[in-house]
Every structure is written in C-alpha cells, then in structure tokens.
Chains A and B, each alone.
Chain A
Amino acid sequence: MAPNTTSEFRAGALAIAPAAIAVVPFGLLLGALAAKKGLSPLEVALMSATIFAGSAQFVAVDFWQHPAPWAFLTLTALTINLRHVMMGASLSRHLGAFSPASRSLWIFFLADEIWAMAERRAANAELTPAYYAGLAMTLYLNWVCWSTAGSLFGSAMGDPVTYGFDFAFTAIFIGLIIGFWKGPPTAVIMAASALAAIAAERFVGGAWYILIGGIAGIVVAAALSLLQLEAVGDER
C-alpha cells in the first residue's frame, strides 16, 4: 500500500462529509417509513446494507405491503437504478489503480454521491482505492446506521424538507456540475438533460426521468463530438 493511504482515505471521507451529514435525516425518515409498513429494524438494516440505493429504497418502501410484492419491487429497483449502467461505464475508465477483482466489489458502493465525488476526483488526480474507500465507507456506514435508527425511533422526527436537508443534495450536485464545467458545450448538454428530465418527469412519470434526462445529455454530447465541435476537452 502507498504510504499516503491514510491521507487519501481521509481526503475521501472529508469530500463526502456534506452528503454524509445530509443523509442523516433521510436515513431516519426512510427507517421510520419502513417501520410504518411493518418492516423490522433488522430488515431495515439488511435492506440498507445490501441495496444501498436511497432513491430505490424510498420508492420501494412506498410500495411495500404484506406480503411483500418481491418480484415487483425487484423490477422497480432495476428500473430506478438503470442509470448506474451509464455511471459505472464512465467511472470504469478511472479505476486503473484498482485490482480487477476488487472493482466488482467496490462498484457495489456506487451510490450517486459516491460516484459523483469519485468522478470529480478522477478529473483532477488519480482515483485511488483509499480515496474511494473514504468516500464509500463514510456514506455507507451513515446510511445503514441512521436508517436502522430511524426504524427504531424515527417516527418522532419531522420532515427533512422543513430544514432544507433535501436541498443539500441539490446544492452538492450543482457544485459538482459547475466543477465539471468545460465551456459552452457543457451548457448545451445541461440544457438537453434538464429539458428531457423535466418533460419525462411530467409526462412519463415514475423514476424514468433520470435515465431519460441522462441519455438525452450523453446523446447530445456524442452528436457534438460527431460535429467536431469539441464537446469536451480531449485530455485523458
């Protein structure tokens, strides 16, 4: 292991800290909602520890009944998380420092926030396993612990929206998008993604808008590249 493993891990943990803090009230809320649907604390812990996908878990808990419609819930998780295919493909280009066997394991932790922070790191420096571990372990432990806590005593908690915690994720993502800014082509990609996502959210419904918006953005980026408009910087 490189001598700077500790500092890399710490840098990753620090980078994910805003998301790890913002995830606390949402973990409590998810646990409380799941408890209301009859899930035990052990089941909530198991769900967060093995699925580790916040948006899919919220949607699933919303649909949960007794007995659990497991085939439907599995299909729902699959559709909501299809965006991970794009995300994983993009990040797979930056895993040169990871052993091939470890990639399959580390990719398990590809929650939106961890992925976005890893992409940001990879844009400026080599993404090391220690940095990624700092990102992943910090958010993962927070999510599992706080959602389990929520199933035990989360019903006393209010709506995170009241305190602006929902906007913390919006702000984190805005900050990251600005960090990925590479001039006018970025604006064109953003416009395509935003318009497609807004239209899909309104007319298609469900959680399809992320996938549709994301695909619209990357199709436009590919088209710009084809038109030799230098869609993005060609380094790396």
Chain B
Amino acid sequence: MSVEMSNLLAIVGMALATWATRLAGLGLLGLVGRNRVLESALDAVPVAVLTAVIAPSIVNGGPATTIAAAVTVIAAIRLPLLATVVIGVASVVVLRMLFA
C-alpha cells in the first residue's frame, strides 16, 4: 500500500483548499457587483501580483540577480517573451559566475 492515510488526508485537504481559493475568485464578482473603481483594481491584479511574486527575490538575490533583472527589463521592452527569457537566464548564469 503506497498511499498512507495521513498523507492522503493532507493531499486531499490541500487540494480542496487550493481549488476553493480558485473557485472563490470566480464567484467573487457575482457577490460584490461591479463598478469603475473595482474594475480599475481588478485590471491592476496582474501587475500587482506578478510584481509581488518577484520583487523580494530580485532584491534578496544578490547583485547578479538584481543586474540580470535590469537586463531582462530592457530586453522585455524591445523583444518578444521567449527571447526575453533566454536573455534573462543567460545573463543570470554569466553574472552568477562573475560574482561567485
């Protein structure tokens, strides 16, 4: 038996909790209605959440990560996403070797 009971309980609990947060977002607008201020707030969610995800790691990651992030921003302004990612990862690998 390779599925142990407490592990199964934890997995099912985490799965339901995660799906619940995703479903809650789906139902939220039906509950609170919509207006212009709320629309502006929701339009800001992608930028706000993505920035919050990466900001601490860029600041705490040391000079190599911080400089690579700046290089990636410049690349992102001119280039499509895939090229941006390639340049970003290449620059962080080179910079980490330089700063190691």
Contact = CB atoms under 8 A, between A and B. Distances in A.
A74 B17 contact: yes
A170 B69 contact: yes
A236 B90 CA distance: 37
Nearest to B11: A47
Interface string B31-61: 0000011111111111111111111111110
Interface stretch (A3-11, A126-134, A138-146, A214-222): A214-222
A209 interface: yes
A75 to B, nearest CB: 8
A33 interface: no
B63 to A, nearest CB: 14
A119 B46 contact: yes
Contact of A85 (B4, B25, B38): B25
Given A74-B17, A87-B25, A173 B45 contact: no
- Interface majority SS (helix, strand, loop, mixed), chain A: helix
A198 B59 contact: yes
Contacts of A211: 52
Contacts of B82: 17-18
Contacts of B98: none
Contacts of B43: 90, 221, 231-232
A24 B98 CA distance: 26
Interface residues of A, number: 102
Contacts of B15: 47, 50-51
Contacts of A221: 40-41, 43-44, 48
Contacts of B9: 68, 70
Contact of A46 (B3, B42, B60, B65): B3
Contacts of A168: 85, 88-89
A210 B25 contact: no
A168 B79 CA distance: 16
B40 A222 contact: yes
Nearest to A72: B10
Contact of B50 (A42, A68, A173): A173
Nearest to B9: A70
Interface in A66-92: 66-71, 73-78, 81-92
Given A190-B47, A197-B55, 10 more contacts: A47-B14, A66-B6, A84-B25, A107-B23, A169-B54, A179-B76, A192-B48, A213-B52, A217-B45, A221-B44
Interface of B: 2-26, 28-29, 36-60, 65, 68-69, 72-73, 75-77, 81-82, 84-85, 87-90, 92-93, 96
8 contacts: A47-B14, A104-B26, A165-B89, A171-B89, A197-B55, A209-B56, A220-B44, A232-B44
